[in-house]
Structure 1
Amino acid sequence: MQLSPGFLSRGHGGSFGEPHIVDLHHDAARHVGDEPLLLAEHAPVAVTPNRAAGARLLMEKLGCDFLIMDDGFQSARLHIDFALVVVDTRYGIGNGRVIPGGPLRANIVDQLVFTSALLKMGEGTAADPVVRQAARAGRPIFEAHTEPRARERFAGKRFLAFAGIGHPEKFFGTLRQAGGDVVLAKSFPDHHFYAEDELAELAATAKRDGLRLVTTAKDAARLRHGASQEFLDQLEVLEIDAVFELDHVPERIIDETLDAWRQRKLRR
């Protein structure tokens, strides 16, 4: 079955009031968010808080028939045929409490009722409690990890690494995994938009200490329309891939999604 996928995203920090299809050549991260720009390299992306309106736009305008929601677990306006919950094994689910007492939007046991499978990302143990709960609920447990691309570009080189993501230390660790020497590491808030003076300081420090500048793909997406060409020309970008421990898992997820969709159609 030939599928035409599309992504639905809220577009963190975006400024479009109406559903909008991301244009890689013209849209800036300030307008659509950084993650939608990365997703748009693979398939069409609709950014909007109104997931139903975004889905209609993708289907009617672009003919998409397999929609993937980014952070859409609690989108009540759309029927979800397969809900994959991803848990970072280094951080787990924090204290397991619901906002404002913790990071969760709803009780984890209640959420597992609507979960199709759980994906353990990484090799830590912080996610073990929720993994056990998912297993008791009869949910499949998949495992994956991230790997740096093009290690040879980073191996043996000295870097000033900077990142404005949720857990910058993960990026620094991945760079070391690729063989890079992280001489200086600078952390910024998640989804940070860099000011000219911040970029000038980074460039000056790297030049003074004989270091190469490197950042994440998400940061690079934000810098694409906010940094000078001179800065971008000297910037390395470390990209990563998610690698499943079992090669057949992605195909299984797609197959089970289609099976659930077919069953839903038959019940109508």
Structure 2
Amino acid sequence: MRAPEFWRADGILPRLLSPLGAAYGAVATKRLLRRPPCAALPTVVIGGLTAGGDGKTPTAIALAGMLAANGEKPALLTRGHGRPLGARPEPFAVDLAKHDSDATGDEALLLARHALTIVGADRAESGRLARALGATVLVLDDGFHSRRLAADLSLLVIDAAYGAGAGRCIPAGPLRAPLAAQLAAADALVVIGDGAAGRDLARRRAKPVFNASIVPDEATAGRLQGARVVAFAGTGRPEKFFDTLKEAGADIVATRRFSDHHRFSEAEISCLAALQQRFCARLVTTEKDAVRLRGSALSFDVLPIGLAFENSDALSAAMAEALERGRLRAS
């Protein structure tokens, strides 16, 4: 899905939908309070404050890199969002040479470029497979709200510009659970960007805060500087990608927004190609969209992005402490 505009600020529609949001929030709060089983490996769990677009996947990739740099062998566990119904139910390791987005979901293919990645709805089984394959630590990029495995460190990711949006739960707003319940369940907050909404929210909470920023790939950004671009994205908040392109110096002449995990039809691919010709511009999209377009005849550029932490040493220390707790717990 794509976040509707009325989720950004309170108004008539959010208020009309607030009873449904309250019911959704009550169920989500109950889930956050349950006691999940512990894995045999230290476990870091990442969650997004809202329903998509906060930056969970870049955070998981950044953490995997930090853990690997410290001598760990991280395994990234994910449900494989975007897979069709009836997809392989048992956990499996992603093989980039063999699997496509239909088999794994789009985000799993991105994760697998950086570390061992296990796709499966049963996190406990996924954790056991990861351990058998040599992993020393588990990183769940979507396990904060489902509470399928206990966390030795739980991180809640917040988009600084978006914050909590309208401050209500789905469908009245973007929150995946009431704000207070989510903040209480997190050990620390990861705030991405320079926006006031998220940073103010974090400052009011007695939680460690790790600030980060999105960093586009330098070589690709250099090639796109000054170029005429038709930008398209199927993510939780496509405007974040468009803003990154603008900051990289691209001249955006048209944009197209699609829902998160969107499967592009032949008609949509043809429309994008027509826009490319009409504006004499380059098509540019996200890494996440690119894996869903693999094998298509569409010609496009991809702008990879990464995450840079302002206080990476403090985050590394927090993870080291969590890993030590996890190993003591499992011994």
1:253 to 314, 318, 330: 318
Structure 2: gaps of 5 or more residues = 1-69
26 and 265 in structure 1: CA distance in 2 versus 1, 3 angstrom threshold: closer
116 and 263 in structure 1: CA distance in 2 versus 1, 3 angstrom threshold: farther
Structure 1 distance, partners of 2:170, 2:256, is 29
Q: Does the residue aligned with 1:166 lie in a helix, a strand or coil?
A: coil
Structure 2 distance, partners of 1:156, 1:103, is 35
Confirm whether residue 6 of structure 1 aligns to residue 75 of structure 2: yes
**Cα deviation code 1:91-138 (max 9, x no counterpart):** 112333344544334333333333211011111122245314422xxx
Opposite residue 218 of structure 1, the aligned amino acid is: K
Opposite residue 34 of structure 1, the aligned amino acid is: D
Confirm whether residue 30 of structure 1 aligns to residue 102 of structure 2: yes
Q: What is the 5 A alignment of 1:228-239?
A: 228=297, 231=298, 234-239=299-304
**Cα deviation code 1:9-51 (max 9, x no counterpart):** 0111222211121111121112211110000001111111111
Structure 1 distance, partners of 2:125, 2:203, is 37
Q: What is the 5 A alignment of 1:1-268?
A: 2-14=71-83, 15-60=87-132, 62-128=133-199, 130-135=201-206, 139-149=207-217, 150=219, 151-225=221-295, 227-228=296-297, 231=298, 234-265=299-330
Q: Does the residue aligned with 1:264 lie in a helix, a strand or coil?
A: helix
Runs of 4+ in 1 over 6 A off after TM superposition: none
Opposite residue 214 of structure 1, the aligned amino acid is: V
Quick check: 1:13–1:31 contact (8 Å CA) kept in 2? no
Query: What's the RMSD between the two structures over aligned residues?
Result: 1.9
Identity %: 44
Q: Does the residue aligned with 1:143 lie in a helix, a strand or coil?
A: strand
Opposite residue 187 of structure 2, the aligned amino acid is: S
Figure out how many residues of one structure are paired with residues of the other and give that number: 257
111 and 189 in structure 1: CA distance in 2 versus 1, 3 angstrom threshold: closer
Quick check: 1:20–1:54 contact (8 Å CA) kept in 2? yes
Comparing 243-252 with 178-187, greater Cα deviation is found at 243-252
Structure 2 distance, partners of 1:110, 1:176, is 36
Higher relative contact order (CA 8 A, sep 6+): 2
Structure 1: gaps of 5 or more residues = none
Structure 1 distance, partners of 2:226, 2:165, is 35
**1:73, distance to aligned residue in structure 2 (A):** 0.9
251 and 128 in structure 1: CA distance in 2 versus 1, 3 angstrom threshold: closer
Q: Does the residue aligned with 1:256 lie in a helix, a strand or coil?
A: helix
**Cα deviation code 1:134-189 (max 9, x no counterpart):** 22xxx211101101112211111111111111111111110111111001111111
